[in-house]
Amino acid sequence: MSDPRRNTLTRMGANGWDRLVGLTMPDGAKSAEDLLFWRERVLWSVVLGCSLVGFLAYAPGARLALIEGRWWVLTVDTFAYAVVISLLFLRRLSYRLRAVGLCAVVYVLSWALILSVGPYGAGTIWLFAFAVLTGALLSRKAAVAALILNALTLLVVGLLLSKGAFEWPAGVENAVEKWLVVSASFIFLNTMATMMLNILINGIETSLAKERIAGRRLEARQHELRSANQRMHLEMRERIAKEKALRESEEKHRLTLESVPDATAVCRMNDFGFIYINGAFARRFGYSSEKMKEIRFTDLIRNADADGIMELLRRDGKVTDVPVQFATSEGEVRDGLFSATLIAVEGEIRFVGVIKDITEWKRAEREKCGLEEQLKQSQKMEAIGTLAGGIAHDFNNILAAMMGYTELTLGDLPEGSREAENLRQVLWAGRRAKGLVRQILSFSRQNEQEQVPVDLASIVKEALNLLRASIPSTIEIRQSLGETDARILADPVQMHQLLMNLCTNAAQAMEEGGVLEVGLSNERFGPESSKPVPSLKPGNYLKLTVSDTGIGMDQETLARIFDPFFTTKEVDKGTGMGLAVAHGVVKSHGGEITAGSEPGHGSTFTVYLPVFEGTASSHPISGDESLPTGTERVLLVDDEEVLVDLEGQTLEGLGYRATTFTSSTAALEYFKAHANDFDLVITDYTMPKMTGLSLSQELLRIRPELPIIITTGFSRNLTEEKARSVGIKRVLMKPLGRSMLAKAVRHVLEHQKSA
């Protein structure tokens, strides 16, 4: 490191002597700004100068003292020069000792010179220098002491002079007076010079002290500035770090909000203006970020009390899953759940709002509710259908006996007799009862259906023509069948029944008159199409609508209209089966039926039936023909004795030879003994101990080629396919009419012969 004293000397433009002094002087004051430094420098300059140059004065003086024999002068000069040389090497001594030593040498030297040569020598000069040097090297007090010592010295010299102690005044007149005058002048000048120099030094010392104080203040101020600068840099680093952390936090939160799949926005609470929206929000609402700055959050909410929601948010600090409807930029209104939380950012109250779009979820929920309702309806229909099937079985047996014996009796009565006419009315009532049973089974989807390609438009026209004669003239019938040539695969009788039930129900709702309108049109539903009934499969459909302008129905009634036996009519004006049967017919054909109504605004029933995509085949309808007969042997088995007797008489009336049994096990045992005595077996399905199906299987084990016909009033376990799989040729539903039985027996026997 550089020496501050040398730097100071360099700045001051020091000469070679100054450099020499600066390099050789001992370490005194720490700084060139210290007064001690300059006194040390003055002392060292004097010592160094006396050491180097003083020899030039010492050598001649010593030679002269030797010549004149002044040994004490030589001794004093040598001592003084030796002390100066010693001070040159004794730099480790304190400054004060060295300064006092130098001043003492000067004083002693001045005494020696005055005593030896008097005022004519250099003694007075050295004495003058003693006071000045003391003032310069030491303090003001030392300077005053030196002046006093000088005055005493001159006074002592004057006393000694008056006593004649010196040789040098010889020949000088008034030597004492002259000495006193010279001494007075000396003291005056010496005092002036010493004091002026001391005042100057004191001024310099004061200035240096002030400069030191100012320097310390400046240093303190610089320290304060450095500290402030350090604090400022620290604060700047902290601020930069905080800003960086804030940016990172904002970026993190932005990425978090952008990753949220729901529409998310940050808004001001005071005016509900937008500050930020994520991508999902922009996509959901269709607004750009710039456009969102022009509108308020509450402008997007449609059905809910937006101000009320915001007030609730302001009060509680958050809201959760509030149902709202919101509008997109295209005007579409969608359903959503709104949640929000209040936050404080830089003293401003904001809220983070999230809108979860539940439009599709609500649509799915509605479809789910519809499917659940259909499931309940189907389960209800299935339960009632099971009950209806059980009733139908017993009822069919009763009808079979009633209608069969009626037909037998009619054959024995004269044509046109009153008795024959009465029995025809009984037979007609039986057929109506048979139709009712068929409706019940149709409703429960547990009867056999013969479905063929059907032109529904023709059936609509036929049904409306028949209906016209049976409804009041105050009801206007309108039809809108369009230009459809599509066909459906259906049972024509059931389609006719469907039309009659729907139209009759509509007519009964317009007792005061009105308009009955029937429409038919094509409908197509794609995989993504919105369907009126969720269970409809994609494809082409015929849409049948039956509307009326009657009294209408409330929602409670509308929910039960397809329930069996449910009716709002009086006891003698309806059974409650018409719409239930219609529902069963539609479902059995793979379609759907819906109803819409409001009290006082009429009702509309809509039926969707799948279009038949195949090629329709023609079935010629033959006219009446005589019943076929035969002479073959028939084994007849039924646990109902009445039916066994009836069917036996019918077969015998047709020429066949019938052997009857009311026990399936007894019939089996008889057949085992007379297996080749029969050409045909007719057996009931539902019998105790052994069903007709089991009996048939046992008989076929004995005679595999034996033709068998099985009859049933109702059974969900017996189908045409199942019967044929075990070898049964035909399944007939009870009650068996004479014509049905004759044709079926003849058909099976002829088919067996040709096989």
What pLDDT does residue 5 have?
47
Residues with Cβ < 8 Å from 573, sequence gap 6 or more? 508
Q: Evaluate if residue 621 carries a pLDDT over 50.
A: no
Here the tokens at position 340 are 């929000």
User: Of 3.30.565.10, 1.10.3720.10, 2.40.50.100, 3.30.230.10, which CATH number belongs to 449-610?
Assistant: 3.30.565.10
Name the residue among 586, 715, 536, 745 with its Cα closest to residue 655. 745
User: For 248-261, what is each residue's pLDDT tens digit?
Assistant: 766 666 666 666 67
pLDDT > 70 in the chain, percent: 78
Every domain of the chain with CATH number 3.30.565.10 lies at: 449-610
Neighbours of 92 (CB within 10 A): 8
* pTM tops 0.85, yes or no: no
| Residue 597 or residue 491, greater confidence | 597
Q: Evaluate if residue 315 carries a pLDDT over 70.
A: yes
Name the residue among 134, 156, 147 with its Cα closest to residue 191. 147
Helix 35-68 × helix 16-24 angle, to 10°? 100
Across 299-435, the runs of DSSP E, i.e. the strands, are 318-327, 333-345, 348-357
What pLDDT does residue 681 have?
96
Q: Sign of the C-alpha dihedral, residues 471, 472, 475, 481?
A: positive
Q: How far apart are CA 191 and CA 131, in angstroms?
A: 8
| Confidence band for 13, pLDDT divided at 50, 70 and 90 | very low
Which one-letter amino acid corresponds to residue 284?
Answer: R
Highest-confidence segment of 46-55, 75-84, 225-234, 326-335:
225-234
Provide the pairing of β-strand 633-637 with 680-684: parallel
DSSP states along 597-613:
E-TTS-EEEEEEEEBP-
Residue 296, beta-bridge partner list: 273
Residue 472 burial by Cβ neighbours in a 10 Å radius (0-12, 13-18, 19+): exposed
Residues with Cβ < 8 Å from 736, sequence gap 6 or more? 400, 404, 647, 650, 711
Q: How far apart are CA 125 and CA 130, in angstroms?
A: 8
Query: What is the chain's Cα-based Rg?
Result: 70
User: For 388-441, what is each residue's pLDDT tens digit?
Assistant: 666 776 777 777 777 778 877 877 788 778 887 877 777 777 776 776 676 566
Every domain of the chain with CATH number 3.40.50.2300 lies at: 633-754
User: Of 3.90.1150.10, 3.40.1710.10, 3.40.50.300, 3.40.50.2300, which CATH number belongs to 633-754?
Assistant: 3.40.50.2300
Q: How far apart are CA 740 and CA 733, in angstroms?
A: 10
Every domain of the chain with CATH number 3.30.450.20 lies at: 260-357
- Mark 309-332 as b/e (b = at least 16 C-beta within 10 Å): bbeebeeeeebeebebebbeeeee
Here the tokens at position 655 are 């020429």
Here the tokens at position 308 are 């009320």
Name the residue among 272, 268, 274 with its Cα closest to residue 293. 274
| Mean of per-residue pLDDT scores for the chain | 78
User: For 51-81, what is each residue's pLDDT tens digit?
Assistant: 777 777 778 877 877 787 777 777 877 877 7
Tell me how long the chain is.
Answer: 755
What is the third-level CATH fold of 260-357?
Beta-Lactamase (3.30.450)
Among 168-172, 337-341, 499-503, 590-594, name the one with the lowest average pLDDT.
Answer: 168-172
Q: Evaluate if residue 21 carries a pLDDT over 60.
A: no
What pLDDT does residue 680 have?
95
Here the tokens at position 739 are 């014509």
Q: How far apart are CA 283 and CA 515, in angstroms?
A: 49
What pLDDT does residue 10 have?
45
Residues with Cβ < 8 Å from 520, sequence gap 6 or more? 456, 457, 460, 480, 481, 482, 484, 542, 543, 544, 545
Q: How far apart are CA 506 and CA 470, in angstroms?
A: 13
pLDDT > 90 in the chain, percent: 13
Report angle CA 458, 544, 379 to the nearest 5 degrees.
120
Number of H helices, E strands in the chain: 22, 17
Q: DSSP H helical segments within 260-358, as ranges?
A: 279-285, 289-292, 306-316
